[in-house]
Amino acid sequence: MSCPFQRLLDPSGRPDPYPLFAELRATPVARQDDGTYVVSTYREIVALLHDPRISSRRRDLDRTPAFIALDPPEHDRLRRLAMRHFGPPGSPGRIDALRPDMLEITTGLIDALAGKRRADLVEEVAYPLPVAMICRLLGVPREDEGRFHAWADELIETLAPGEERRAERERARREVTGKLNDYLDGLVDARRREPGDDMLSGFIADGEMTQVEIVRTGVLLLIAGHETTINLIANGMLTFLRNPEILARVQADPGLIVPAVEELLRFEPPVQMLSSRVALEDLTVAGVDIPAGSPIVLALAAGSRDPAHVPDPDRFSLDRPRNEHLGFGGGVHYCFGAPLARLEAQIVLTELVGRLREPRLVTDPPPYRPSPVLRGPRHLWVEYAEVARP
């Protein structure tokens, strides 16, 4: 029988990978046949997320990657310049100011479900809101949304770790990244001619990023700014519908949506693993020697369900006194868009729970996207009795 990690990479394991993650934790640091080391326990993952001897620079990326694939100090410089126009201290109220727009868009999306008795919550609700918000933040015309939706799908499917089909994945990644770079390059040129109140225009006005850096940062935020949130929302509704007692509690007390989203980030995280780390020097982790240059995979989903870290980890609970999950990673690469993702998920899930009457799953498990890195349903078909007024 193949090892747990290899079975995790197989699409057949996507509906329920957690028994495989539990198997993986039996060997906290597991060397794979291709020389990759998979780390699956909470304490070891947290330590490596903060260890400067671990590089985020993937060997298959070009010479000017986005800051997510760079190490300090270059990573810190570009992230700081990007954050200046996204959150504190440069733009402390930018995300919260989007709340009314998020609610208005969400209300419209759910209004559109009225008069029907069945809907795909991924395509009809979970996808449109995050896309609308990241377009608004970056200054991407909404009419161009369809162009990058397909590109984002193609790019996500190239992120699997391991040597299998590596050359094919690298070729596909270069091709789709080239399309995204060309699109953003043209958009940056347009914003130079006609600046707006958006992040790309802010990057240009600062004058501290090159054209290539602005383009790569824009591509990163465009993809990361909606893909993971789609999965968080879809995984959330799936979890609620599988647990009627949880659904009933959140319906009765909408304030519980805040701890519910944090528990979702632990229990059903959109990002299951980080597959791009490399050891810069020889390391010893949990008694295992990792040679310099070795690829390292951090199995975040396994760490967040580590029974050595959290009691009763395979139960979804709204009452955890502390929820120190790995849903947004950690260290210098802690998720840039965490405040945006949290707010979007809280608003959408509150409205879905409050307005869909007698919702029930059509198919369980639903069909999943094949990526083992960013895990979520491709479709989430739900039947319901009616849609309540907002």
For range 330-346, the mean pLDDT: 95
- pLDDT tens-place string over residues 368-381: 998 899 999 999 99
For range 336-352, the mean pLDDT: 96
Which pLDDT belongs to residue 162?
62
Burial readout 90-106 (b: 16 or more C-beta within 10 A, e: otherwise):
eeeebbeebeeebbebb
Q: Which of 110-119, 160-169, 193-202 has the lowest mean pLDDT?
A: 160-169
- pLDDT tens-place string over residues 18-36: 999 999 999 999 999 999 9
Token code pair at residue 16: 């329920």
Residue 164 has pLDDT above 90, yes or no: no
> For residue 6, what are the contacts with CB-CB under 8 A and spacing of at least 6?
32, 162
Burial readout 180-199 (b: 16 or more C-beta within 10 A, e: otherwise):
bbebbbebbeebeeeeeebb
Residue 63 has pLDDT above 90, yes or no: no
Which pLDDT belongs to residue 312?
96
Q: Are 48 and 37 in contact (CB under 8 A)?
A: no
Q: Are 230 and 341 in contact (CB under 8 A)?
A: no
Residue 387 has pLDDT above 60, yes or no: yes
**Cis omega before residue 19 (within 30°)?**
no
Residue 158 has pLDDT above 80, yes or no: no
Reading phi first (left if > 0) and then psi (alpha if -120 to 50, else beta), residue 161 is in: beta
Q: What is the pTM of this model?
A: 0.92
Q: Are 258 and 346 in contact (CB under 8 A)?
A: yes
- pLDDT tens-place string over residues 74-83: 999 999 999 9
Which pLDDT belongs to residue 148?
75
**What average pLDDT is seen over the chain?**
92
For range 241-245, the mean pLDDT: 97
φ and ψ of 29, to 5 deg: -125, 110
Residue 337 has pLDDT above 70, yes or no: yes
pLDDT band at 163; cut points 50, 70, 90: low
Residue 58 has pLDDT above 70, yes or no: no
pLDDT band at 354; cut points 50, 70, 90: very high
Q: Which of 16-25, 149-158, 330-339 has the lowest mean pLDDT?
A: 149-158
Residue 210 has pLDDT above 90, yes or no: yes
In percent, how much of the chain has pLDDT > 70? 97
Tell me the one-letter amino acid at 304: S
Which pLDDT belongs to residue 88?
83
Q: Which domains does the chain have, with CATH numbers?
A: 4-387 (1.10.630.10)
For range 83-103, the mean pLDDT: 92
For range 281-290, the mean pLDDT: 97
Cα distance between the two ends of the chain: 52
Which pLDDT belongs to residue 290?
98
Q: How far is CA 122 from CA 211, 233, 378, in A?
A: 34, 8, 7
SS3 sequence of the chain: CCCHHHHHHCHHHCCCCHHHHHHHHCCCEEECCCCCEEECCHHHHHHHHCCCCEECCCCCCCCCCCHHHCCCCHHHHHHHHHHCCCCCCCCCCCCHHHHHHHHHHHHHHHHCCCCCCEEEHHHHHHCHHHHHHHHHHHCCCHHHHHHHHHHHHHHHCCCCCCCCCHHHHHHHHHHHHHHHHHHHHHHHHHHHHCCCCCHHHHHHHHCCCCHHHHHHHHHHHHHHHHHHHHHHHHHHHHHHHHCHHHHHHHHHCHHHHHHHHHHHHHHCCCECCEEEEEECCCEEECCEEECCCCEEEECHHHHHCCCCCCCCCCCCCCCCCCCCCCCCCCHHHCCCCHHHHHHHHHHHHHHHHHHEECCEECCCCCCECCCCCECCECCCEEECCEECCC
pLDDT band at 127; cut points 50, 70, 90: very high
Q: How far is CA 365 from CA 210, 268, 271, 378, in A?
A: 46, 14, 19, 11
> For residue 185, what are the contacts with CB-CB under 8 A and spacing of at least 6?
211, 215
Q: Between 342 and 174, where is the model more confident?
A: 342
Which pLDDT belongs to residue 39?
98
pLDDT band at 280; cut points 50, 70, 90: very high
Residue 159 has pLDDT above 80, yes or no: no
Residue 38 has pLDDT above 80, yes or no: yes
Which pLDDT belongs to residue 62?
54
Residue 93 has pLDDT above 80, yes or no: yes
